[in-house]
């Protein structure tokens, strides 16, 4: 089972931006769709990063038993 990481989503976002930039007709709706997808991937990366940071914070502040 593959677990997607924040880095994975950042790479996918960059890939979408590169593809959007490579489309000859920048008015083509596919450009906007790719850029929107890039934003979604970036948002997932940010969310995962925040989750990881929260988990680490909880681990650091949890009382030892």
Give mean pLDDT, residues 34-46: 98
Name the strand (E) or helix (H) holding 35: helix 29-61
pLDDT higher than threshold 60 for residue 1: no
Alpha-carbon Rg for the chain in angstroms: 17
pLDDT over 70 at 13, yes or no: yes
Q: Which helix (H) or strand (E) holds 45?
A: helix 29-61
Residue 56 has pLDDT above 70, yes or no: yes
* Phi-psi region at 23: left, alpha or beta (left = phi > 0; alpha = psi -120 to 50): beta
pTM: 0.81
Give me the long-range contacts of 18-23 (CB less than 8 A, separation at least 24): none
Instruction: Please report, in angstroms and rounded to a whole number, the separation of the first and last CA atoms in the chain.
Output: 33
């Amino acid at each position: 089972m593959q677990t997607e990481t924040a880095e994975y989503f950042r790479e996918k976002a960059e890939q979408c931006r590169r593809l959007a930039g490579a489309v000859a007709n920048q008015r083509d709706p596919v450009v906007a769709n790719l850029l929107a997808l890039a934003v979604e991937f970036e948002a997932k990366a940010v969310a995962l990063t925040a989750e990881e940071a929260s988990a680490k914070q909880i681990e650091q502040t949890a009382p030892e038993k």
